[in-house]
Amino acid sequence: MHPSERLREINGLLLQKSFQVNHQTVSAYLNEYFDISNYAERSFSRDLKELKELLQIRYPQLHDTAGELIKFSRGQNRFYLIRDDISAFPSISDKELSQIASTIEQNKHLFSGGAGEGLVNKLRAIALENSMARHHEILGWSAIELVKDGERSGADLMPIILENIYAKKVVLFTHRGLATHSKQKQTLGLPVLLKEYNNGWYTGWYVLFQPVEKGATQIKVDIDQLQLYALDRIVQVSKVQDQPRVRIHPEFRPADYFKNCLGLFRSKSLKAQTIRCQINKDNWMLNYIEKYPIHTSQEIIPENESAVRVQLNVEIDQEVENFFLRFAKEIRVLEPESLVEKIKRGMEKGIENYKNTSAGN
């Protein structure tokens, strides 16, 4: 039996609450199921040490606060994981990972911007790394570095929100602002969509809903009236006893709320405008946006031997301004003039921040 396989077996025993993990019981288990009759206590101690190191790699923050993640109970004469939801190895088998990946591939309509394909790639990368670990000596580091998306704040509210989206029922949102001194407010709303979004700092969940006036007996869902809340700003979602009659047009698609956005949040006063820009043909950005369009409305129009014109139709908000400021070296905005002026002012302000600064400040 390869040492990595033995580690996985011991890890699995630690996950079983009913199994009393110590040298004697593990030795008996290995003898019964794998015909290993000479499993020494020294080997058991070394295996536990390796499992602790693997756990530290997988849960560094937890290890920093709690110390070793496998501890010993003298009263029960057993080693145990300090939490039920941790494991030195993924608890899903390679076959199950492949099945999940296939299911995601068949339901790509639930994802946007290539997120489904990205998740499939992550699952397959995990399965590949698991396979390598079973046939080779375990590395002291992870051979694949996946994007650390972080915890999804507010994800615990998703089940009740999703239930009411399907039931077409109004709920009461108790929410607060971003500032620490913000007071809690309450809003009646009919949730219609849960949306995941990466704003560049972190990835979080948002709920799109139709606001409802108190005492309303009937509501007509209108895409232009929808509002958006971040789930990590919602304190509680409560059921509402008296439900109004809900009218939804058969062709209503809540995702259309975002069709003219480059980002997520919208200003109801903004209208989609045509943005025209120029990119040199020898610029890396051209190849990139051909494969990954800036927006679904993107058009690339040949202009001359050295450049192309790129055209978009979006609402020009802060997110759009930030995008073109970020790639000002690669993309030159030509129209509208109002956006050109905003980019110029943004660049001038950035340059001003670095003027007259001494080295080291």
Query: Structural domain tally of the chain?
Result: 4
Q: Supply the DSSP string of 211-249, one letter for each residue.
A: E--TT-SEEE--GGG-EEEEGGGEEEEEE-SSPPEEE--
- Among residues 232, 240, 210, the alpha carbon closest in space to that of 222 is found at 210
Answer yes or no: is 117 within a domain: yes
Which of 191, 219, 252 terminates a domain? The answer is: 252
pLDDT tens digits, one per residue of 241-278: 999 999 989 888 888 888 888 877 777 677 899 999 99
Cα–Cα dist 121/146, whole Å: 10
The last residue of one of the domains, among 197, 218, 252, is 252
Q: Which domain holds residue 223?
A: 155-252
In angstroms, how far is CA 141 from the centroid of its own chain?
23
Is the pLDDT assigned to residue 143 strictly greater than 70?
Answer: no
pLDDT for res 292: 86
Residue 359: inside a domain: no
**Distance (Å, whole) CA 107 – CA 276:** 35
pLDDT at position 112 is: 61
In the DSSP assignment, the letter for residue 306 is S
Q: Helix or strand or coil: residue 335?
A: strand
Amino acid at 300: I
In a domain, 360, yes or no: no
Instruction: Write down the pLDDT at residue 78.
Output: 93
Domain end position, chosen among 38, 54, 81: 81
CATH number at residue 188: 2.30.30
Residues 6+ apart with CB under 8 A from 324: 277, 331, 333, 339, 343
pLDDT at 354: 85
Q: Is the pLDDT confidence value at 145 over 60? A: no
Encode pLDDT of 291-323 as tens digits.
Answer: 889 998 999 999 899 999 999 999 998 889 999
Q: What is the pLDDT of residues 187-200, one digit of tens each?
A: 999 999 888 776 55
pLDDT at site 298: 94
CATH number at residue 326: 3.30.70
Going from the C-alpha of 68 to that of each of 15, 50, 53, the distances in angstroms are: 16, 12, 9
Do 9 and 55 belong together in one domain?
yes
Q: Percent of the chain at pLDDT above 90?
A: 44
pLDDT, tens digit, for every residue of 211-250? 999 989 999 999 889 999 988 889 899 999 999 999 989 8
Residues 246 and 165 in one domain: yes
Specify whether the CB–CB gap between 52 and 45 falls below 8 A.
Answer: no
Asked whether the whole model's pTM tops 0.75, one would answer no
Specify which of 119-123, 196-200, 205-209, 342-346 reaches the highest per-range mean pLDDT.
Answer: 342-346
For position 274, what pLDDT does the model report?
95
What average pLDDT is seen over the chain? 83
Bigger pLDDT: 102 vs 172: 172
Please indicate, yes or no, whether residues 332 and 286 belong to a single structural domain of this protein.
Answer: yes
Which pLDDT belongs to residue 169? Answer: 92
Rounded Cα distance between 72 and 225, Å, is 58
Alpha helices of 172-317 — where are they, by DSSP H? 284-291
141-170 average pLDDT score: 71
Which of 302, 361, 312, 360 lies closest to 334, judged by CA?
312
121 and 167 co-located in one domain = no
Q: Are residues 340 and 278 in the same domain?
A: yes
What is the tens place of the pLDDT at every residue in 335-348?
A: 999 999 999 999 99
Q: Is residue 308 part of a domain?
A: yes
Whether omega before 336 lies within 30 degrees of 0, making that bond cis, reads yes
Q: Is pLDDT above 70 for 148?
A: no
Amino acid 97: pLDDT? 66
Is 213 part of any domain? yes
When pLDDT is cut at 50, 70 and 90, the band that residue 137 belongs to is low
